[in-house]
Structure 1
Amino acid sequence: MKSHSSTLLAEVRSFRQNHPDVRYVDLIALDIPGHFYGKRYPVEMLEKVAAGGPLKLPQNAVLLGAQGGLFKIGDYCFNDGDPDANRRLVPGTLKPVSWESQPMGQMLITSDGTEAPIEFEPREVLAKVLERLQHKGIHPVVAFELEFYLFDKKLDNGLPQFARDPLSDDADDQPNLHIERLSRFSEVLDDMAQTAKAQGIDITVITAEIGPGQFEINFGHCDDGLRAADWAALFCRSTRGVALKHGYRASFMAKPYLQFPGSGMHVHVSLYDAAGNNLLAAHQQQALRHAVAGCLELLPHCMPIFSPNHNAFRRLGGAVNAATRASWGFEDRDACVRIPESDPRNLRIEHRLASADANPYLVLAAILVGLEHGLEAKREPIAPLNEDRSSGTDFPVEMLDAVRAMQQQPLLRDKLGAEFVDVYCENKRQDHLAFQQEIHAREYRWFL
């Protein structure tokens, strides 16, 4: 512990030396809906925390709904006295923030690795899954891909407006994959890329996607699953901040336009043993088939994670690469689980179902549990789409059905933690019911 504190203290002191104008640092963590919460610390107080001083935040901050409200979930929130819970600093994540009006810093915090981790904290859920896999000799390598839209900074009566083309000042309202869009929006995209790199995020390819103002950023393959999910979470935060600085609004909303493609979170995962052998390539790729079967078997029970809100379910079944059934295929973007062409060393799955606004820690945890289950159950998957275009199994396409399917799945309760599953499902159920409490103008047009 002393060595750990000395490392953190050295990190904080080095940061202060390199950024003497920074007075405050945001200590942040991701809650269940995928929003950051935390506290803003004077940088000199951060040194005390790094040296081993206490760092406590309300335990129930993790339970906040999509709009920041608290729901009664078991005894949490209203019958537990709203207790504090210990957090710790995540080493290597203290970085400068360039999108605020004044120089600042930010650093991730977590309850995993403390004396009493919060069982339903997303990062802790993933940490437990990774620890279990490590004990089994399974070492994931992970790469996220995130799609997002750029909108005009100003909304029109609450509705998004197309991003303005900086060269012509016209609305970028034409869906295309043209490379010229990268040039036209290069100033904001370059700033997003450089800012992400300053956060320690290994970003690689930038693509102009099909939707108007839609882009995709790929991250490098990482042999630390927690760090890979950290990158995805931090990228969303920095990208939104940089967009506002340039007069845009960046959104990872799953389906902002009904007539255009939604935004997804694609996750590439390969599995290796301690000697560096690709486990999925074993026995002439039979292990790959088993892993796929496990993913597909659990996928219908993980839908509240992959589609975490009402809008995310709208993305399913879209015109472009958004499946409505659990399916797989080789080099097939219509499949939920795609097997990209690669050599045996880099053989991997690409899980394509999650929406861009899903919680990256939980998405990765659910995928890994599916792979783990498949390798152990050793079942054959259904036919790939390459052999049968109608192949696939149904999954829930409405939140309340999805929540019931998740909460009643014994293997998920065991592998992700029963307490987490119950808390998460009730959070999603309450969020969905709260969303339904507002009467839309369309209801008056139809039924008044």
Structure 2
Amino acid sequence: MKSHASTLLAEVRTFRQNHPDVRYVDLIALDIPGHFYGKRYPIEMLEKVAAGSPLKLPQNAVLLGVQGGLFKIGDYCFNDGDPDANRRLVPGTLKPVSWESQPLGQMLITSDGTEAPIEFEPREVLAKVLERLQHKGIHPVVAFELEFYLFDKKLDNGLPQFARDPLSDDPDDQPNLHIERLSRFGGVLDDMAQTAKDQGIDITVITAEIGPGQFEINFGHLDDGMRAADWAALFCRSTRGVALKHGYRASFMAKPYLQYPGSGMHVHVSLYDGAGNNLLAAHQQQPLRHAVAGCLELLPHCMPIFSPNHNAFRRLGGTVNAATRASWGFEDRDACVRIPESDPRNLRIEHRLASADANPYLVLAAILVGLEHGLETKREPIAPLNEDRSSGTDFPLEMLDAVRAMQHQPVLRDKLGAEFVDVYCENKRQDHLAFQQEINAREYRWFL
């Protein structure tokens, strides 16, 4: 414990030496909907926390809805006295914030690793899955890919406007999947990439996607699944900030335009043993087939995680590479679970179903549980799309159906935690019902 505190204290003191103009640091954590909450600490107080002073925030901050409101979930929020819960600083995450008007720092905090972790905190859910896999001698290597759109900074009556291309205001004149679009938006994209690197994130490939103003960023592969999810979460925060600085609005919304592709979160996962052997490649890749079968079996029950809001369900079955059935295939982007071509050492799955605004900790936890379940049950998967284009099993395409499918699934309750499953499902149900409590102009046009 003393060694841990001394490492944190050294990190804070080094940061102060390198950034003497920073007076405050945002201590942040991801809630259930995938938004950051936290507190802004004076740098002097942060040093005391690093030295061992308690760090407490309300436990129920994790339960916030999409709009920040609290829902009654069991005895939480309204019958529990709104207690504080201990958090800890995450080592290695204290970084400068360059997109704000004043010099700031930021640092991740979490309840995992404390004496009483919050069972439904997303980071804690993933931590328990990773710990269990480690005890079984399974070591995931993970890489995220995130798609997002750039919009004009100003909305038009609440509606997004296309990002202003320096050469044309016509969205149809933006060269999709073309290297030229990377040049046209080079200033903001370069700043996003450099800012992410300043946060310690390994940015690799940048792609201009099909939608106007849509891009994809790939991250490096990591043998630390938690850190990989941290990168995805922190990238979303820094990217939105950098975009505003350049006069744009960056959004990871799943389906901002009906006529253009949605934005996804693609997750590459390979599994290794303690000696560094790829577990999926053993025995003529039979474990790969088992792992795929497990993913596909649990996928219909994980839809509230992969599609966490009403808009995310709009993305499914969309214009490009978004399936409406649980499927798999080799080198097939229409599949939910794609097997990229690779040598046995790098054999992996690419899980393509999650929307870009899903919670990365929970998405990765759900994928790993599917792989784990498949390796345990050793079932054969359905036919790949390469053999049968109609292959696939149905999954819910509406939130309330998805919540019902998730809440009582025994494998998820066991491996993700029953308390988390109950809290998460009720949070999603309440958020969905709250979203419906508004009559829009179209209803009046149709039914008045």
Q: TM-score, normalised by structure 2?
A: 0.99
C-alpha distance in structure 1 between counterparts of 2:446 and 2:435, whole Å:
19
CA deviation string 1:325-371 (max 9, x = no partner)? 00000000000000000000000000000000000000000000000
CA deviation string 1:161-182 (max 9, x = no partner)? 0000124465576461111000
CA deviation string 1:14-71 (max 9, x = no partner)? 0000000000000000000000000000001100000010000000000000000000
Change (3 A) 1:431 1:173: farther
1:402 aligned partner: 402
C-alpha distance in structure 2 between counterparts of 1:395 and 1:170, whole Å:
37
CA deviation string 1:298-345 (max 9, x = no partner)? 000000000000000000001200000000000000000000000000
CA deviation string 1:188-229 (max 9, x = no partner)? 000000000000001100000000000000000000000000
Check the 8 A contact 1:95/1:198 in 2, yes or no.
yes
Check the 8 A contact 2:175/2:181 in 1, yes or no.
no
C-alpha distance in structure 1 between counterparts of 2:171 and 2:208, whole Å:
16
Residue-pair matches, total: 448
1:68 aligned partner: 68
Check the 8 A contact 1:326/1:335 in 2, yes or no.
yes
C-alpha distance in structure 1 between counterparts of 2:339 and 2:380, whole Å:
16
Check the 8 A contact 2:171/2:212 in 1, yes or no.
no
Check the 8 A contact 1:162/1:173 in 2, yes or no.
no
Check the 8 A contact 1:28/1:38 in 2, yes or no.
yes
Check the 8 A contact 1:162/1:172 in 2, yes or no.
no
Check the 8 A contact 1:266/1:354 in 2, yes or no.
yes
C-alpha distance in structure 2 between counterparts of 1:392 and 1:171, whole Å:
35
Check the 8 A contact 1:196/1:238 in 2, yes or no.
yes
Q: SS of 1:22's equivalent?
A: coil
1:381 aligned partner: 381
Check the 8 A contact 1:142/1:270 in 2, yes or no.
yes
Q: Percent identity?
A: 95
Question: Which structure 1 residue ranges, 4+ long, deviate > 6 Å from structure 2?
Answer: none
Check the 8 A contact 2:151/2:213 in 1, yes or no.
yes
Change (3 A) 1:337 1:372: same
Check the 8 A contact 1:163/1:172 in 2, yes or no.
no
Q: SS of 2:173's equivalent?
A: coil
2:45 aligned partner: 45
Q: SS of 1:417's equivalent?
A: helix
Check the 8 A contact 2:331/2:341 in 1, yes or no.
yes
Check the 8 A contact 1:88/1:110 in 2, yes or no.
yes
Check the 8 A contact 1:175/1:211 in 2, yes or no.
no
Q: SS of 2:171's equivalent?
A: coil
C-alpha distance in structure 2 between counterparts of 1:233 and 1:39, whole Å:
17
C-alpha distance in structure 2 between counterparts of 1:173 and 1:296, whole Å:
39
Check the 8 A contact 1:174/1:212 in 2, yes or no.
yes
C-alpha distance in structure 2 between counterparts of 1:172 and 1:163, whole Å:
12
C-alpha distance in structure 2 between counterparts of 1:266 and 1:417, whole Å:
24
C-alpha distance in structure 1 between counterparts of 2:40 and 2:148, whole Å:
28
Check the 8 A contact 1:192/1:239 in 2, yes or no.
yes
C-alpha distance in structure 1 between counterparts of 2:229 and 2:427, whole Å:
21
Unaligned runs of 5+ in 1: none
Instruction: Give the superposed CA RMSD.
Output: 0.8
Check the 8 A contact 1:255/1:261 in 2, yes or no.
yes
CA deviation string 1:118-142 (max 9, x = no partner)? 0000000000000000000000000
Check the 8 A contact 1:329/1:384 in 2, yes or no.
yes
- Between stretches 168-177 and 191-200, larger displacement belongs to 168-177
Check the 8 A contact 1:280/1:288 in 2, yes or no.
yes
C-alpha distance in structure 2 between counterparts of 1:297 and 1:361, whole Å:
20
2:202 aligned partner: 202
Check the 8 A contact 1:140/1:272 in 2, yes or no.
yes
